[in-house]
Chains A and B, each alone.
Chain A
Amino acid sequence: EVFVVDDFRVDIEKHVYRLHEIVVDMYRETKEPINFWDLVFDPTPKIVARTFLYLLFLSNMGKVDLIQEEPFGEIFVVPVEEA
């Protein structure tokens, strides 16, 4: 587990870009905002939290937009069209 954590920490960028690719791919298929839950592959609190965090990173990087209508409401992810 320790190894994994380290791996997670070291490769955080890799994981974030991977998530971005997934988001971009999913958006290209559906052309619709992606439900956050669709991005969570394992329904453990840890994976949920991690996925949420990566999305926040992507949003911060300007790669995705996170859309939430009301607090604790559904979260939609839309990749940002790069110019």
Chain B
Amino acid sequence: MPYIEKIEMKGFKSYGNRKVVVPLSKGFTAIVGANGSGKSNIGDAVLFVLGGLSAKAMRATRISDLIFAGTKTEAPAKYAEVAMYFNNEDRGFPIDEDEVVIKRRVYPDGRSTYWLNGKRSSRSDILDVLSAAMISPEGYNLVLQGDITKFIKMSPTERRMLIDEISGIAEYDAKKEKALKELKQAEENLARVDLLIREVKTQLDKLEKERNDALRYLDLKDRVERAKVTLLLGEIRKLESLIEESNLRDKEIEAEIAAMEARLEDIAREIVAKEKELNAIEKELEEKSEDGILEVTRKISEVKSKIEMAGKNIELAKKEIEDGQRRLAKAKEELKKVSEEIEKSRNAISRWSKRREKLKAEIKEKEVIKNELVVKLGEIDRDFAIAKQDFDHVVEELEEAKKELYMKESDIKKFEEEIERAKGRIAQSNAKKVALKSKIGEAKSALETKRSELGEVEGRMGRAETRLKKAEKELEEKSRKLKKLEGELSKAREELIKAEAQREVRGNRAIEFLKAQNIPGLYGSLGELITVRDESYALAVEVALGGSYDHVVVEDDRVAEKAIRVLKEKKLGRLTFLPLNKIKPRSMKGEPALGVPALDVVQYDPRFRNAVAYALGDTLIVSDMDEARTVGIGKVRMVTLGGELLERSGAITGGHYRPRGKLGINVDEIRKRVEKLEHEKEALESAVNALRVEVKGLQNELFELRMKRSELSKDLQVTQREMERLLAEDRALEEEIRENEALIEALEKKIHDTRGEMAKLRGRIERLEKKRAKLKKALENPEARELNQRIREVEAEISKLREELGKVESKLEGLDVRINEELLPRRTDLEEEIEGLINRINALKANIEENERAIKDFEAELEELKKAEENVKDELKELRERRERLRNEIIDLRAEKDELSSKLQELRIEANTLKIKLAQYEATLKEKRDELKHHDAKLIKSIKEVPLELDALGEQIEKMEEEIRSLEPVNMKAIEDFEVVERRYLELKSKREQVVAEKESIEEFIEEIEGQKKQVFLQTLSEIAKNFSELFAKLSPGGSARLILENEDDPFAGGLEIEAKPAGKDVKRIEAMSGGEKALTALAFVFAIQRYKPAPFYLFDEIDAHLDDANVKRVADLIKEASQNSQFIVVTLRDVMMANADKIIGVSMRKGVSRVVALSLEKAMKILEEARKRSEAEHAEMFGHLSG
């Protein structure tokens, strides 16, 4: 490996005008000196001579600043020059010299000149020589001042590229470059071939299509011919079979028609029979439903109401019985009371009678005494006797009066009691009346309700009857109309069938088709548009029309043109059109005396006048040839009624003429009419049905209403009777009240009278008492008085007794009266009443029984009636069912008839159609046979099988012909041309394959190179990474660091990261490391590379600035170790570093010029050892205090 032996500087930076030599050797050289003495200028000089271009890298503004600027004592240099002497003994430089000298000189104008071994050279040559020895001014081996961290600062990619460079993979890149060029060439070739292939292919495709078309054309021609013949044969066969089939079918149809007609007749007969039966049933049904059922139901309702009445009667009677029994009980009680009272009174009478007897005996006794006394007194005084007589008389009278008064009083009491009783009766009656009143009210309102219900029912009945009447009338009307309409319809249908058949036979299909197109302004054939009023002219007019019959009347020439286009398109034949805006009417010259102008006997829409006149305007209708002759044959166009046509030219046409049919018959119109009639019929039928339903509904309603009415009238009757009964009772009560009131009045009057009498009596009694007192005075005589006294005493006793007797007697009398006049009659009354009540109750019970019996009878009757009703209903139901059945049968028959009719018509039409078709078939058959003759007989013979699907065959032929047409024009030459071009195409194809193979092999080669490149790179990296980790561990004991690829799979796509972990610290991001750590990491990286692939020399400028002594020592040791393989030039200020160097270059500046002093430390050590022995003591004395 080459190394720098020395550097010579002249006029370079601070080194002045004299040549300065910096001696260098293998191993470790330190460059030392004070700051600013020019140490780093040596490093700059190295960069300069190696061809560095960056002034900045050499710490200058411009490259010319590198020239010594001069001092006070020394002039500036004219140029700066640095020469570097390399030892080339091992031929590291590709130059066959032991020493390689590179010299560079720069002039103030910035121009540089280079010398290689004394010969002028160019910078690029110098750089080439240097790079051959792996030296570059930008190399990683040159670490300038403060630049150690560049390995840290550089991007991962730059770092990776550094490894690229070291691993020498540039060689692979060059190979790849070359291969890529080849690839490009191959691709261009391929593109060219592809282009050619494309062109040839286009040509080939076109030719292929033409060739295929040509082959196809030939094939198709053959096949079409064959198919055509086959088709003809097939058509002939088909026609033959069709003719045969049609004949058969025709016969069949005739047979069917005959059968159907027979069946139709049968059906008609059957319908008539069924309808007759139906009418009979309906009549019966009407009768039965009208009379039978109504009568029965009326009876039922009567019986029911009777039953109800009886029930009500029973109820009433029961109520009455209850009432009577209550009354009876009351009467019996009263009777008991009265009897008791009588008993009591009789007892009292007997008691009182005894008392009276006793009193009478006492009175008699006393009177005897008194009489004795009176006699005595009379003896005493006669006058007195008279007085006494008077007095006695008065007393007697008085007593009488008093007695009478008592009587009256008891009378009054009696009367008052009687009044009380009467009042009680009145109150009773009134209470009964009130009860009755409410009953009457109820009955009234019930009556009212029933009446109004009845009224309503009757009203509804009336309404229903009128409605029924109306509906029936309407039904009759509609049925009549329907019958009429049916007649019309069947006539119209017949007409339609006839017209259709006619049209089928004679009609012009072209016209029909045109009409079906609905072209506006196309009116139809002239024949359709004309009608003949008088049937006798019909034939004449038809003959007169002749060919014009089928001329089509159109609005204008445009319509005609349109129609003609349609006819052409559809190949429907030809027609003559009469455009109304163009057609010129024909006319006769002068009116002939005989005959009728044809125009006068026809009817038409005035719009079509010109068209009609064009056909008939010049034609005269005459009765016969004679008349024609009279008019003059040839004078005018004439037609006889018999159908002979005499043209003006004199030509006469005649013979048998089969009329075409009625003129002016437009099938469509008839069809429309038929449709309209059918609609009307349908409408009418539905109306009739609706009416029938309505009538039925109304009849039912009426029936129900009648039932209801009869029920209601029964109810009404019952209610009315009940009402009458209640009213009678009310009246009776009223009478009773009135009687009692009269009684009360009479009694009151009696009381009044008695009271008056009593007052009179009292006055009399008073007067009598006064008289008695006066008389008593007169009787006063001592003896007499005594006697009188005695008498009076006796008399008083007597009178007292008498009074008592009177009282007793009046009481007796009162009792007697009460018994005889009151109690006994009352008892008789009561007894009578009781008897009456019992009788009544018995009567009522009998009544109830009777009614119950009646109810039983009625129920039996009702049962019977119901049975009867049921029978009638069943009968009716059966009748209705029969009616329904018959109707359905008739409907079925009619339907069958209609169906048969329509089938018959269809068959007729079919028969007609068949005949037409047969003719057509035969004509076509002939045509086809003729056509067959034109084809090759061999071909015809060769065809054995004829397919049945002729349509498909026809379609095939058409398709094939279409294809043939589409193939034309055909390039027959294409068949040969195609083969030529195809050969060319195949050649090109094989060539393309060759080119592709070539291209692929180049691609494979490139891939291989890439693989090798990657392998080499990875190998290098792994070595360097290993070194790095080891060296870092050495520099930072306890720490670790790794190199990591950013992209493991494709290293060249990413960079190279440094991951460092200084001792005792976590993994640090590089940016966050201290200066010293950074420097250590960077140095580990540099040494890792150096260990793998050492550079010839290393220049480190103050890499140890930030390191402490321990680290500097480690670095210095490393440098020492590495310096065995490479030359190390280290600028330093650190004694530890210096101490490790083999040689030390000292730089000092004297008067602005740097000087160099070189010291070999190895040599120094030997010298010093001797000197130490010499003057150890002296030195120890001088520096003793520094040692340690």
Q: Does A46 contact B (CB under 8 A)?
A: yes
Q: Please provide the chain B residues from 1135 to 1157 with a CB less than 8 Å away from any CB of chain A in the complex.
A: 1135-1136, 1138-1141, 1143-1144, 1146-1151, 1155, 1157
- Residues from chain A with a CB closer than 8 A to the CB of B625 are none
User: Mask for A49-83, Cβ within 8 A of B = 1, else 0?
Assistant: 11011011101111001101001100100000000
CB pair A22–B1182 under 8 Å, yes or no, is yes
- Residues from chain B with a CB closer than 8 A to the CB of A22 are 1182
Number of interface residues of A (CB under 8 A): 35
Residue of A nearest to B33 (CB): A56
CB pair A52–B32 under 8 Å, yes or no, is yes
Residue of A nearest to B1160 (CB): A72
User: Within the assembled complex, what's the spacing in Å between the Cα atoms of A15 and B1169?
Assistant: 23
Q: Does B1188 contact A (CB under 8 A)?
A: yes
CB pair A56–B1150 under 8 Å, yes or no, is no
CB pair A60–B1165 under 8 Å, yes or no, is no
Are A49 and B1144 CB-contacts (below 8 A) given A43-B1168, A56-B37, A72-B23? Answer: yes
CB pair A56–B1148 under 8 Å, yes or no, is yes
User: Within the assembled complex, what's the spacing in Å between the Cα atoms of A55 and B1164?
Assistant: 15
Q: In the complex, which of the residues A48, A53, A57 contacts B1165, with contact meaning CB atoms closer than 8 Å? A: A48
Residue of B nearest to A42 (CB): B1187
CB pair A52–B1159 under 8 Å, yes or no, is yes
Residue of A nearest to B1138 (CB): A49
User: Within the assembled complex, what's the spacing in Å between the Cα atoms of A66 and B1175?
Assistant: 22
User: Within the assembled complex, what's the spacing in Å between the Cα atoms of A63 and B697?
Assistant: 158
Residue of B nearest to A45 (CB): B1139
Are A2 and B1163 CB-contacts (below 8 A) given A40-B1168, A62-B1150? Answer: no
Residue of A nearest to B1163 (CB): A72
- Residues from chain A with a CB closer than 8 A to the CB of B1149 are 60
CB pair B1135–A53 under 8 Å, yes or no, is yes
User: Within the assembled complex, what's the spacing in Å between the Cα atoms of A71 and B1188?
Assistant: 32
CB pair B1167–A37 under 8 Å, yes or no, is yes
Q: Please provide the chain A residues from 9 to 40 with a CB less than 8 Å away from any CB of chain B in the complex.
A: 15, 22, 36-38, 40
User: Within the assembled complex, what's the spacing in Å between the Cα atoms of A62 and B1155?
Assistant: 12
Are A43 and B1165 CB-contacts (below 8 A) given A49-B1135, A72-B1143? Answer: yes
CB pair B1140–A45 under 8 Å, yes or no, is yes
User: Within the assembled complex, what's the spacing in Å between the Cα atoms of A57 and B1146?
Assistant: 10
Q: Nearest chain B CB to A39's CB is how many angstroms away?
A: 9
Q: In the complex, which of the residues B34, B1108, B1180 contacts A56, with contact meaning CB atoms closer than 8 Å? A: B34
Residue of A nearest to B1183 (CB): A41
Are A59 and B1150 CB-contacts (below 8 A) given A40-B1171, A43-B1169? Answer: yes
CB pair B1109–A5 under 8 Å, yes or no, is yes
User: Within the assembled complex, what's the spacing in Å between the Cα atoms of A59 and B1147?
Assistant: 9
User: Within the assembled complex, what's the spacing in Å between the Cα atoms of A38 and B1108?
Assistant: 30
User: Within the assembled complex, what's the spacing in Å between the Cα atoms of A66 and B21?
Assistant: 16
CB pair B23–A46 under 8 Å, yes or no, is no
Are A38 and B1171 CB-contacts (below 8 A) given A60-B37, A68-B1158? Answer: yes
CB pair B32–A53 under 8 Å, yes or no, is yes
Q: Please provide the chain B residues from 7 to 49 with a CB less than 8 Å away from any CB of chain A in the complex.
A: 21, 23, 30, 32-34, 36-37
- Residues from chain B with a CB closer than 8 A to the CB of A4 are 1188
- Residues from chain A with a CB closer than 8 A to the CB of B33 are 53, 56, 60
User: Within the assembled complex, what's the spacing in Å between the Cα atoms of A75 and B1160?
Assistant: 11
Q: Does B959 contact A (CB under 8 A)?
A: no
- Residues from chain A with a CB closer than 8 A to the CB of B1144 are 49, 52
User: Within the assembled complex, what's the spacing in Å between the Cα atoms of A44 and B1169?
Assistant: 9
Q: Does B658 contact A (CB under 8 A)?
A: no
CB pair B1161–A48 under 8 Å, yes or no, is yes
- Name A's interface SS: helix
- Residues from chain A with a CB closer than 8 A to the CB of B1167 are 37
CB pair A46–B1146 under 8 Å, yes or no, is no
Q: Nearest chain B CB to A79's CB is how many angstroms away?
A: 14
CB pair B34–A60 under 8 Å, yes or no, is yes
- Residues from chain B with a CB closer than 8 A to the CB of A75 are 1157, 1159
Q: Nearest chain B CB to A46's CB is how many angstroms away?
A: 4
CB pair B1164–A37 under 8 Å, yes or no, is yes
Q: Please provide the chain B residues from 1029 to 1067 with a CB less than 8 Å away from any CB of chain A in the complex.
A: none
Q: In the complex, which of the residues B1133, B1148, B1159, B1161 contacts A60, with contact meaning CB atoms closer than 8 Å? A: B1148
Q: Which of B6, B21, B23, B1155 has the most CB of A within 10 A?
A: B1155
CB pair B1158–A71 under 8 Å, yes or no, is yes
Q: Nearest chain A CB to B920's CB is how many angstroms away?
A: 137
CB pair A46–B1179 under 8 Å, yes or no, is no
Q: Please provide the chain B residues from 1072 to 1118 with a CB less than 8 Å away from any CB of chain A in the complex.
A: 1108-1109
CB pair B1161–A49 under 8 Å, yes or no, is yes
CB pair B1148–A45 under 8 Å, yes or no, is no
Q: Which of A1, A43, A66 has the most CB of B within 10 A?
A: A43
Are A57 and B34 CB-contacts (below 8 A) given A38-B1171, A43-B1168, A45-B1161? Answer: yes
Q: Which of A22, A45, A61, A68 has the most CB of B within 10 A?
A: A45
CB pair B1109–A49 under 8 Å, yes or no, is no
Q: Nearest chain B CB to A29's CB is how many angstroms away?
A: 12
CB pair B1109–A42 under 8 Å, yes or no, is no
Q: Does B198 contact A (CB under 8 A)?
A: no
Q: In the complex, which of the residues A1, A38, A50, A62 contacts B1175, with contact meaning CB atoms closer than 8 Å? A: A38
User: Within the assembled complex, what's the spacing in Å between the Cα atoms of A66 and B1158?
Assistant: 11
Q: Which of B1140, B1161, B1168 has the most CB of A within 10 A?
A: B1168
User: Within the assembled complex, what's the spacing in Å between the Cα atoms of A1 and B1165?
Assistant: 23
User: Within the assembled complex, what's the spacing in Å between the Cα atoms of A75 and B1133?
Assistant: 20
- Residues from chain B with a CB closer than 8 A to the CB of A60 are 33-34, 36-37, 1148-1150
- Residues from chain B with a CB closer than 8 A to the CB of A5 are 1109
Residue of A nearest to B32 (CB): A53
Residue of A nearest to B39 (CB): A56
Residue of A nearest to B1164 (CB): A48
CB pair A66–B1135 under 8 Å, yes or no, is no
User: Within the assembled complex, what's the spacing in Å between the Cα atoms of A56 and B1138?
Assistant: 13
- Residues from chain B with a CB closer than 8 A to the CB of A52 are 32, 1138, 1144, 1146, 1159
Q: Which residues of B line the A interface, CB within 8 A?
A: 6, 21, 23, 30, 32-34, 36-37, 1108-1109, 1133, 1135-1136, 1138-1141, 1143-1144, 1146-1151, 1155, 1157-1161, 1163-1165, 1167-1169, 1171-1172, 1175, 1179-1180, 1182-1183, 1186-1188
The contact sample of 9 A-B pairs, CB cut-off 8 A, is A38-B1175, A41-B1179, A43-B1165, A45-B1140, A46-B1135, A46-B1136, A56-B1147, A57-B34, A72-B23
* Across the A-B interface, the 5 shortest Cβ-Cβ residue pairs: A43-B1168, A49-B1138, A41-B1179, A71-B23, A59-B1148
Given contacts A4-B1188, A38-B1171, A59-B1148, 8 further A-B contacts (CB under 8 A): A37-B1171, A41-B1182, A45-B1138, A46-B1136, A48-B1139, A48-B1159, A52-B1138, A53-B1146
